Amino acid sequence: MRRHCWYQGSGLLLASCIAASLALAGCSRSSAPDAASTAGSSVRLLTHDSFAVSESLISEFRQRTGYDLQVVTAGDAGSMVAGAVLASGQPTADVMFGIDNTLMARAVDAGVFEPYASTEAGSLDPALVPPGGMLTPIDYGDVCVNIDDAWFASRGLQPPATLEDLADPRYRGLLVVQDPATSSPGLAFLLSTIARSPDDWQQYWARLLANDVKVAGSWSDAYLGDFTAGGGNGERPLVVSYATSPPAQIVYASDPKPDRPTTSVMTDGSYRQVEYAGVLRGAANPQGARAVIDWLASKPVQADVPLSMFVFPARTGTPLPEVFTRFAAVVPDPAQLPASDVAENLDDWLRAWGAVMGR
């Protein structure tokens, strides 16, 4: 989602942190390797720019396994996956984290991964586990429209509550979204509109265009540049972001911190992103790759996920920080499309979206 200092967050300290957050049938198993036998060896983790884990946990991984973790970032999730597909079978890293359910099928079909069932698999939410045994869920987040409540209150205007409302002339010129061809949350928002109206989603986007929607190139451009509550001088009080962006507003605010965020979330039209980790086929260190996946799914790392990447952990029973339980929006029924449908239709959907939007 992630990662929501992302993928994925926001003042400007919040910006750099949410932006780092927001936003990260098996066949083989392995136990943790003997640290003495792996001392001095390294394992390379390919991930997106928003990957964030506490340094103490990386040190603990090194001490426990003997592997030196080398984190290699490759831009956003889309760029990372595109590069991995081109290098399928001859990867420059051992393990990937941050591929999500919108891009998963394309990479799996291209033979990017080899099967692995994590030793932590039994502790992960089964609803997040994809078929095929190639990938392990690590976190999830819901992409949705964020609202600057203070802006609306100051003008006595009721904020929108549904996707349909966004096309209402009352909200003309107030919404900024991201280009789905270049932005992960932008793609998720497009998919949410397709899931809602599979036969006439293009007409819906034509209505948004007529209502003066703005399209930004990235989450950072939209949230930090155009959003009125993003820490800059933005002029749009509605932005596509994450259900966990309001908690980040509290965490990264300067002291004295506010009692509650000034933003909220429109849960209608939300789209769930799940981020996975997988062993790259042809990896130089597949045993180390498996150790990384088990570590990412372990209790300590999963407990670190909310405040490092501002997404929800995939491990069931993981305690959430109070700022999450109080201010992260709970989305009762987020949209999702089958990964195979996305892989089959994505190019056509993006072309159709571009035609509607004149891009």
CATH number of the domain at 257, please.
3.40.190.10
Residues 122 and 161 both lie in one domain: no
As a whole number, mean pLDDT of residues 37-63 equals 88
> What six digits make up the tokens of 359?
């891009």
Residues 216 and 349 both lie in one domain: yes
pLDDT tens-place string over residues 304-359: 999 999 999 999 999 999 999 999 998 989 999 998 899 899 999 999 999 999 98
Residues 197 and 171 both lie in one domain: yes
Residues 150 and 40 both lie in one domain: no
pLDDT computed for residue 205 by the predictor: 98
pLDDT computed for residue 231 by the predictor: 83
Residues 68 and 177 both lie in one domain: no
Place of tokens 């605010």: 253
Asked if the model's pLDDT at residue 24 lies above 90, the reply is no
Give the Cα-Cα-Cα angle 78, 21, 228 (nearest 5 degrees).
Answer: 95
Any domain includes 337:
yes
Asked if the model's pLDDT at residue 14 lies above 50, the reply is no
Q: What percent of the chain has pLDDT over 90?
A: 76
103-122: b (≥16 Cβ within 10 Å) or e = bbbbbbebebbbebbbbbbe
Residues 95 and 121 both lie in one domain: yes
Q: Which residues contact 251 (CB under 8 A, 6 or more apart)?
A: 14, 17, 307, 323
Any domain includes 3:
no
Q: Residue 25's pLDDT band (boundaries 50, 70, 90)?
A: very low
Any domain includes 6:
no
pLDDT computed for residue 178 by the predictor: 94
As a whole number, mean pLDDT of residues 157-176 equals 98
Residues 27 and 117 both lie in one domain: yes
pLDDT computed for residue 37 by the predictor: 57
Residues 226 and 112 both lie in one domain: no
Share the mean pLDDT of the chain. 89
pLDDT computed for residue 79 by the predictor: 82
Task: Judge residue 165's burial from the number of C-beta atoms within 10 Å of its C-beta, 0-12 exposed, 13-18 middle, 19 or more buried.
Answer: middle
Residues 203 and 187 both lie in one domain: yes
Q: Domain limits at 30?
A: 13-141+273-327
pLDDT tens-place string over residues 273-311: 999 999 999 999 999 999 999 999 999 999 999 999 999
pTM metric for this prediction: 0.84
Q: What is the 3-state secondary structure (H, E, C) of 72-91?
A: EECCCHHHHHHHHHHCCCCC
Residues 87 and 157 both lie in one domain: no
pLDDT tens-place string over residues 231-259: 888 999 999 999 999 999 899 888 888 89
Residues 24 and 156 both lie in one domain: no
Any domain includes 210:
yes
At 180, the amino acid letter reads P
What 3-state DSSP class applies to 273? strand
> What six digits make up the tokens of 166?
């966004």
Any domain includes 4:
no
Q: Residue 120's pLDDT band (boundaries 50, 70, 90)?
A: very high
Any domain includes 174:
yes
At 16, the amino acid letter reads S
Asked if the model's pLDDT at residue 114 lies above 50, the reply is yes
Any domain includes 7:
no
When divided into structural domains, the chain yields a total of: 2
SS3 content of the chain, % helix, strand, coil (to 5): 40, 20, 40
Give the Cα-Cα-Cα angle 279, 284, 343 (nearest 5 degrees).
Answer: 35
